[in-house]
Structure 1
Amino acid sequence: MNLLAVPALALAPNASLAGFLLFLERIGKGLRTPVRDALLAQAGKAVGHGRAFGVHEFLDQAGAFLGPLWVALGVAYGGYRLGFALLLPMALLALFLLRRARGLEPSSPETPKEKRELLKAFLPYLGFVALFALGFAHFQLLALHLERAGAAPTLIPLLFALAMGVDAIFALLGGLAFDRLGLKALLPVPFLALLATPLVLLGSGPWAWGVGVALWGGALGLQESIVRAGVGRLGGGAWAYGLFDGGFGLAWMIGSLLMGALYGLSPAHAALLSLLAEALAFLPLAFLLRKA
């Protein structure tokens, strides 16, 4: 669902079917992500959890950068249908590689007793993740604010590209640091997010926006690499990653709704929510570091 739904947009006869295909793609991503993370955690036992997740996020962002350029080429020469159709070869290649990867699944799932013991240590971690997600502004909100603040239309995609580049670098370097420092490497995550949103929402001019977006990209890169790696470091398997991704997604949805409503009052109100949530995220993180 995740890989084939988007190329199938090339054949969609109307907006309703196109929306249904995008819905299937999101369902596929939701089913895929915890299993993928469990496999990465399994690999992390051999090469280091930080390195496994850091390299993955670096490659993921490389694809996120090259993929739109490939689609843009198709759109330029044949419209949107050709642009979506050009994604089919990559989707089929990914499925071929997935078929080759069979047998990498964890062979010994946790017993109920082991799950209960892990859950005691995992709940504070989930609290940290939820508070971080609650205060982490979605880029769509930042882009809306930049447009309203007078940023040139060409500047916003350039800032997003900057965020993705910083994301890739921070993910790789953060992953290597995580294998050396353990959970201590998580300390910059809420700190970067705490600075990023106020700089974008309350700052003025390209320099403030650029620094804020770069910090936002750094926080995202660390979230996608070492925050996920932390679940594996704590010993979590596929069920733990399912709980992690579900908790993060739910908290980010609630935070995004709240931040959007507060932004309707003023950008300062939305920035204040981000500051409070990220500051509170340090509390469960401090508890985890004290226990580590």
Structure 2
Amino acid sequence: MAQGPGRPAGAGPAGRLSAWRFVVWFGAVAMLADVVYEGARSITGPFLAHLGASALVVGVVTGAGEAAALVLRLVSGPLADRTGRFWAWAIAGYGLTVVSVPLLGLTSVLWVACALIVAERVGKAVRQPAKDTLLSHAAAVTGRGRGFAVHEALDQAGALVGPLAVAGVLAATGDDYGPALLVLAVPGALALALVVWLRVQVPRPVRYERATPAEPGERTSRRVPGATEVARLPVRFWAYAGFAGLTMTGFATFGVLSFHLVSAGLLPAAAVPVLYAAAMVVDALAAVATGWAYDRYGAVVLVVLPVVAALVPALAFSATVGMAVAGVVLWGALLGVQESTLKATVADLVGPGRRATAYGVFGAVVGVAAAAGGALAGGLYETSVPLLVAVTGALQLVALGVLVTIVRGRWGPHRPPGATR
């Protein structure tokens, strides 16, 4: 095909960047944004405790924040599909996040801090279905697992830098949370500028993805998907969403984990972001490993998720520093699988016409589970840690059974039908 006027050599059909370059630049946007919100999340538990919150409050607020980040995608996903303005939704979501976090550094009122924490998560809800859809188009060329894995690895580079920067400021200011949060305004501004530039470079990422025959009932128009259309998402997608929801119900938030580390006297507040950063390194490694394995073996690699998730609370809520640290590191590995391979699977289960809707619904299911998981972990932590460990293990055992049934009965031994690898 002849190169269009003004298009650089090697550019893709969607714009001025190849699919791999688009994945990398989008990863850079996520990296800068992660410096902002992961830097803040690394101290959410101690920060709220500093303002007078209990473990239950921390669990409820962080769980509600995750729910907001996920459940509200049930609205933003279908609206993104309806309007086709995926870039507008992505940019608006990033804007809300990078404004909310620095404002945390200006408040000393508990309820205001709680509201801002939830607002930051709402920003993720606004952008995520559109962002995942944009990324999925380029990942159709690079390989679903590989594309999402590389994006997640870059994303987690920011999740490493952010907590370390916050830890450095805390150490320099004597655990003053205000400056540690205000400094995050700088990478936030850079992230917003870069995503606007990327939109100019690649206005239509959907052109990366090769045209494929529509599935039965596949929606191609931009009208609002109603309840009937949402229900007509593939059966295998709903079963998969159920599995993901079960795993998240037994998945404690880092807010509760960090609350335990500080309140039990295992680590000082300034050390918690450092441990969080280490968990983010493991997150990136796990994302790449499972992403590559997914492209080769399919959804069967997700068996690792419930198995390892059952071990996390038994270690993370220990009274021994070494075991607690090991639990947090495993938590990071699970987060990497959740943020990469789980999303890659959704893109293989649902065609482009309804993909943002699918990501929104998937987020809603996982979000309800995240809210329940945060409250459950916080409440049971104050009641009985052994009971928390037992309940989590039971939930993950059920999740494992569901996944095995799905893989054997619906997807076959290696990969879901319709995979584009």
* Fold shared per TM-score above 0.5: yes
Find the counterpart in structure 1 of residue 223 from structure 2: none
1:2 aligned counterpart, secondary structure: helix
1:149 aligns with 2:149: no
Find the counterpart in structure 1 of residue 95 from structure 2: 4
Question: Aligned partners of 2:365, 2:386: CA distance in 1, in Å?
Answer: 27
Residue pair 1:70, 1:86 contacting (<8 A) in 2 also: no
Q: Residues 47 and 71 from structure 1, CA distance in 2 versus in 1: closer, same or farther, beyond 3 angstroms?
A: same
Moved more, 152-161 or 207-216: 152-161
Residue pair 1:54, 1:172 contacting (<8 A) in 2 also: yes
Residue of structure 2 aligned with 1:231, choices 346, 349, 373: 346
Residue pair 1:118, 1:234 contacting (<8 A) in 2 also: no
**For 1:101-137, what per-residue CA distance to the aligned partner results, in whole angstroms no more than 9, with x for missing partners?**
3111378796771366642111110110000000011
1:46 aligns with 2:162: no
1:95 aligns with 2:177: no
Q: Residues 230 and 99 from structure 1, CA distance in 2 versus in 1: closer, same or farther, beyond 3 angstroms?
A: same
Question: Aligned partners of 1:51, 1:149: CA distance in 2, in Å?
Answer: 40
Which consecutive unaligned segments of at least 5 residues does structure 2 have? 1-91, 219-228, 412-421
1:214 aligns with 2:336: no
1:36 aligns with 2:111: no
Find the counterpart in structure 2 of residue 258 from structure 1: 376
1:57 aligns with 2:152: yes
Residue pair 1:6, 1:25 contacting (<8 A) in 2 also: yes
2:95 aligned counterpart, secondary structure: coil
Find the counterpart in structure 2 of residue 83 from structure 1: 183
Which consecutive unaligned segments of at least 5 residues does structure 1 have? none
Question: Aligned partners of 1:91, 1:263: CA distance in 2, in Å?
Answer: 38
1:168 aligns with 2:284: yes
**For 1:40-79, what per-residue CA distance to the aligned partner results, in whole angstroms no more than 9, with x for missing partners?**
2222221111111111110111122224556677896994
Q: How far is the alpha carbon of 1:247 from its aligned partner?
A: 1.0
**For 1:246-290, what per-residue CA distance to the aligned partner results, in whole angstroms no more than 9, with x for missing partners?**
111111101211222222211112222211111110122012211
Residue of structure 1 aligned with 2:396, choices 278, 287, 291: 278
Question: Aligned partners of 2:388, 2:253: CA distance in 1, in Å?
Answer: 11
Which AA in structure 2 matches 1:31? V
Find the counterpart in structure 2 of residue 199 from structure 1: 315
Q: Percent identity?
A: 36
Residue pair 1:43, 1:52 contacting (<8 A) in 2 also: yes
Which AA in structure 1 matches 2:199? L
Question: Aligned partners of 1:130, 1:100: CA distance in 2, in Å?
Answer: 36
In the superposition, the TM-score normalised over structure 2's length comes to: 0.62
Task: Tell me the C-alpha RMSD between the 2 structures.
Answer: 3.1
Moved more, 168-177 or 150-159: 150-159
Which AA in structure 2 matches 1:263? Y
1:4 aligned counterpart, secondary structure: helix
**For 1:201-233, what per-residue CA distance to the aligned partner results, in whole angstroms no more than 9, with x for missing partners?**
2x3422212221121111111111111111112
Question: Aligned partners of 1:79, 1:284: CA distance in 2, in Å?
Answer: 46
**Number of matched residues?**
291
In the superposition, the TM-score normalised over structure 1's length comes to: 0.86
1:113 aligns with 2:229: no
Which AA in structure 2 matches 1:279? L
Find the counterpart in structure 2 of residue 182 from structure 1: 298
Q: Residues 40 and 94 from structure 1, CA distance in 2 versus in 1: closer, same or farther, beyond 3 angstroms?
A: closer
Question: Aligned partners of 1:74, 1:256: CA distance in 2, in Å?
Answer: 28
